[in-house]
A and B are shown apart, each in its own frame.
Chain A
């Protein structure tokens, strides 16, 4: 029985660890300035936790086998513990966990404490059951007014977010269902939700933030590679949660300008 346990626990440990270490399923390809930092912290945490995982499981399997009851002869140690050891492992785990925490903190601070750069591209993201809409301010650089009573989800785009076309600032606002961003330029997001909570999740950008009704949440990231990236919703928002997806197209600065000019032309 002791041997069976040892084999089972060790096997579970090694097979589990193999798929982590071989990166068979790992974080998706990163494509933003935050990806390297987050990925590094992830890999480092994984390394440390992996060592503790393998050590603890192997010790467990080994001990139950090694100290199995064998005949009448052997006697268990009569010991109530060891205060010195207790202090040592308390201190070591405290250093390990708190150290890990402090190491990761600068990344969090850079992501979330600092406001967006002055030159960032403002984009408003609106979540509703079950679609994402993206609004660009247009040449005037100002988002026009929206009004709850104008919202008509079935009409899509401008009407879905309730854009008030009588507001001059709204005239040049572009609202789309696909998000276009120029590469290597920071995007200054404003996240909103009109009905329930949604969560704007772009795995390749290492970006996730809830969009909460009643709040306008400001957040930023910088895409670093041209390509198409899927957007998911990561907060349960109703029966269509699983299909509330969108597409982020990161393009060159010129392509972005061209795309934007075409959208403005459509509006005329």
Chain B
């Protein structure tokens, strides 16, 4: 505690604030901001999850009366769908791994006292917060939340009379996304500058933990992708409110000739997916970083192929900008370009496979400890493999003919980007909880939470592949109208039960989280015997992270089981003279 009163007098350090507001609300401390992001995402994931529960219930019992809400109408289903997708993608997958854990641990892992621009950091959080509030407002305006899905294809999303929710609700939706883009751009800038400029002495790029690498590349992707979505969103707002026709050709809605002409619905899709594909890597790269970090730590073995891992992250980031057309094979885009997009998409499978092999190589001949963070990291690998292998189906335009816009796609992206990324977040939470809150989470409940969630997630999302093969289109609010869907209802019912159990199990996690904050056993500074810099400082870290000292780095990030060393791990700042290979 005494350490907290010592301030480092480096350019980026700032005095510890005193008042409650400056300390916890408008804080400039990246650790507080990281926690703010974390709790925002936690709130969002619960909202998103409850929406998905309502959706699953409606899908198999369309007429059921839900307490407080009543019967869900088809348009309400689509509003739930849109809000679920939007909340999950933006306010969970983009917010927690990067804004939350990245904010908290990137500076500490590179030995910096804070982010490069603390004020910008605070602004980016509060901007994200505003975006979330604006989005939630869409539920409460006349007409309700939009029904056009998280992808908001024009002209459905660009006109105000194409369905309920397409009035003010849709304006709020796109405004929220635009605000979110601004916040993410600020965040990205900060992450990039911090990584490049604030590394401690000895922390060369090739000594950075793989978590830092993935946050860094994620930030670069964010910088390039969110700008495009922001512009696309502004054009959509103009089409909706000022009568422009960027995305709207001459259309007749319900017998009424609209006053637009000459716009291109495909333009929206190109702009959206130019952002949208990199976005899925923004969601998953931090999870890959966490998995790498944890597999090495809990296998007590250096990461297999550190360099290959770094190059793979770079390759994924780079190729990720050249594959957006794989979402548009059936859109009316030129079939020749489909050919090119398909080839690039298959190519991006290669670095992804390399990562998987390296994870397996890391466990191989290790000495695996099964604490809860490790369980989730292992689960991450399993889900990443399962979700990843349906990719090569969808990447082939030929197979996309039967599979596009079916439940197969929903299964694919939930496994790889939804559940795998969530497992990354769970792993990160269980792993860094002691550092953030000074106490340990309960192991037994952690394990129970893990097993129910793993089996539950597979039970919900694996059958979606079967449904998709059988031709069940996505975004259908019920399966009563098409005769060939009737035989798929029992499987859907099973999935709904699985969803109810899985969602219930998440309360185990939340209770464990809050209970452990108050009652968990006190954590030591380095409970997992890990090597990276956050474990060298006190728990929780002082305001300037290292209590007035600047760490000096002597080793690579994953020096476990080094022959001749005193213990089975050598911390990055350990001046020990044992020869390590970095």
Interface residues of A (CB under 8 A from B): 1-2, 4-5, 8-9, 12, 16, 19-20, 24-28, 34, 37-38, 41-42, 45-46, 49, 52-53, 56-57, 59-60, 63-64, 67-70, 74-83, 85-86, 89-90, 93-94, 97-98, 100-101, 104-105, 107-109, 111-113, 128-129, 148-149, 151-154, 162, 194-197, 199, 201, 203, 206-210, 212-215, 217, 230, 232-243, 245
In this complex, how many residues of chain B approach chain A with their Cβ under 8 Å: the count is 117
- Asked, given contacts A68-B368, A81-B308, whether A241 binds B476 with beta carbons under 8 Å apart, the answer is yes
Residues on B with C-beta less than 8 A from A27 are: 402, 469-471
Are A97 and B392 in touch, CB under 8 angstroms?
yes
Q: A24–B462 Cα gap in the complex (Å)?
A: 14
Report 26 cross-chain contacts, Cβ distance below 8 Å, ordered by A residue: A41-B399, A42-B402, A53-B385, A56-B356, A57-B382, A60-B378, A67-B367, A69-B370, A75-B561, A78-B301, A80-B304, A93-B349, A97-B392, A100-B392, A107-B398, A109-B335, A111-B401, A196-B253, A203-B402, A208-B401, A214-B251, A214-B265, A232-B473, A239-B75, A239-B477, A245-B481
With beta carbons under 8 angstroms apart, the residue of B368, B389, B481, B582 that contacts A67 is B368
Are A214 and B249 in touch, CB under 8 angstroms?
yes
B521 to chain A, nearest CB (A): 20
Are B162 and A85 in touch, CB under 8 angstroms?
no
B486 to chain A, nearest CB (A): 11
Q: B539-582: contact bitstring with A at CB < 8 Å (1 yes, 0 no)?
A: 00000000000000000000011110000100000000000011
With beta carbons under 8 angstroms apart, the residue of B339, B385, B402 that contacts A206 is B402
Q: Which of B28-36, B146-154, B197-205 contacts A (4 or more CB under 8 A)?
A: B146-154
Q: B461-501: contact bitstring with A at CB < 8 Å (1 yes, 0 no)?
A: 01101110111010111110111100010010000000000
A34 to chain B, nearest CB (A): 8
- Asked, given contacts A76-B561, A79-B304, A207-B401, whether A49 binds B476 with beta carbons under 8 Å apart, the answer is no
Are B470 and A28 in touch, CB under 8 angstroms?
yes
Are A53 and B389 in touch, CB under 8 angstroms?
yes
Are A201 and B473 in touch, CB under 8 angstroms?
yes
Does B224 make an interface contact (CB < 8 A)? no
Q: Which of B335-350 contact A (CB under 8 A)?
A: 335-336, 338-339, 342-343, 346-347, 349-350
Does B254 make an interface contact (CB < 8 A)? yes
Q: A86–B363 Cα gap in the complex (Å)?
A: 16
Interface residues of B (CB under 8 A from A): 73-75, 78, 147-149, 153, 155-156, 159, 162-164, 248-255, 257, 263-266, 299-308, 330-332, 335-336, 338-339, 342-343, 346-347, 349-350, 353-354, 356-358, 360-361, 363-370, 375, 378, 381-382, 385-386, 389-390, 392-393, 395-399, 401-402, 404-406, 447, 451, 454-455, 458, 462-463, 465-467, 469-471, 473, 475-479, 481-484, 488, 491, 560-563, 568, 581-582
A55 to chain B, nearest CB (A): 10
Are A105 and B339 in touch, CB under 8 angstroms?
yes
Beyond A81-B306, A111-B398, 15 additional pairs, beta carbon < 8 A: A12-B382, A25-B470, A28-B471, A37-B398, A76-B300, A76-B365, A78-B560, A83-B305, A104-B397, A128-B252, A203-B402, A212-B265, A236-B78, A236-B475, A242-B478
